[in-house]
Amino acid sequence: MSGPLEGKVALVAGATRGAGRGIAVELGAAGATVYVTGRSTRAHRSEYDRPETVEDTADLVTAAGGQGIAVAADHLDKSAVRDLVDRVAAERGRLDVLVNDIWGGENLFEWDTPVWEHDLDNGLRLLRLAVETHAVTSHYALPLLLRHPGGLVVEVTDGTTDYNRDTYRVNFFYDLAKTSVLRMAFALGHELGPRGATAVALTPGWMRSEVMLDAYGVREENWRDALAREPHFAISETPRFTGRAVAALAADPDVARFNGRSLSSGGLAGVYGFTDLDGSRPDAWRYLVEVQDAGKPADVTGYR
């Protein structure tokens, strides 16, 4: 059986791990051909020095039912991104979905540290990795995406526009990076909408990425063991939940109704009816406002 994205071509920039991997796999499960990029390969690790590789992601995409194509690329390297898009154009002649998920900042920010005390070089590199990479990728990829009507751009960030507007996020550099990506989707919506394409910002909830699981000393199979340390972790979700949100958007013939908007995985689950791998629908951002930030005891009843 063919999936709803059979014949579609996607590029997930920043797909080595986390949300990017989850998105790539779910696009593959829907039948898409997915080009996945990252800096960590089986031959070379990025400064993250982690075991996940972009080739592993491509294999997972193929195993899910799509076609995964791994491309090693640093999205700060303009020539590398141009060559990547030229390759997609030569091999497929189209691009239907662009996901800008490049991040790379976990090891660069300092929690609750004011700008004058934060390491300046790390903060500026965080901004380059989280913001400049998205701009570079959009610059080169969007002409290809616009060759056919109905294209979709997903800018992955942390936090909705409503939440980030009123909430200080970690520190100056982190706050600026995540808010900038939200605004990118808004601006792209204005530029793409009249040309037949759609741009949205999408945030996962509290995502159980490989990095997050390691931080709590658990695996996906026993993630609930971390609740003794952090009870609110009960609202967390897998990267595949965000992936299902993107796959649902990409398959929606009326996706233009979301153009320029800020969306969340939990919010879209309510719209499209998809679930996380365990069958639940965690609504993390509503939970954060109504329970965690409100200082209430952890209780996910009614939130997943």
CA distances from 153 to 111, 141, 243 (A): 30, 10, 14
With contact defined as beta carbons under 8 Å apart, do 234 and 227 qualify?
yes
pLDDT of residue 296: 98
pLDDT of residue 3: 93
Q: 182-195 pLDDT, tens per residue?
A: 999 999 999 999 99
pLDDT of residue 92: 98
> Which residues are CB-neighbours of 289 under 8 A, at least 6 positions away?
163
Residue spans of the domains in the chain: they are: 9-206+242-279
Q: What single string gives the DSSP state of each residue in the chain?
A: ---TTTT-EEEEES-SSHHHHHHHHHHHHTT-EEEEEES--SS---TT--S--HHHHHHHHHHHTSEEEEEE--TT-HHHHHHHHHHHHHHHS---EEEE-----TTT--TT--TTTS-HHHHHHHHIIIIIHHHHHHHHHHHHHTTSTT-EEEEE-SS-HHHHHHS--SSHHHHHHHHHHHHHHHHHHHHHGGGT-EEEEEE-SSB--HHHHHHHT--GGGGGGGGGT-GGGGG-B-HHHHHHHHHHHHH-TTGGGGTT-EEEHHHHHHHH----TTS----HHHHIIIIITTTPPP--TTT-
What's the pTM?
Answer: 0.97
pLDDT of residue 2: 73
CA dist., res. 234 & res. 237, Å (int): 9
pLDDT of residue 80: 98
Reading the chain (304 residues) residue by residue, the pLDDT tens digits are 579 999 999 999 999 999 999 999 999 999 999 999 999 999 999 888 899 999 999 999 999 999 999 999 999 999 999 999 999 999 999 999 999 999 988 899 899 899 999 999 999 999 999 999 999 999 999 999 999 999 999 999 999 999 999 999 999 999 999 999 999 999 999 999 999 999 999 999 999 999 999 999 999 999 999 999 999 999 999 999 999 999 999 999 999 999 999 999 999 999 999 999 999 999 999 999 999 999 999 999 999 9
Fold designation for 9-206+242-279: Rossmann fold (3.40.50)
pLDDT of residue 291: 98
Q: 227-281 pLDDT, tens per residue?
A: 999 999 999 999 999 999 999 999 999 999 999 999 999 999 999 999 999 999 9
pLDDT of residue 1: 52
With contact defined as beta carbons under 8 Å apart, do 31 and 251 qualify?
no
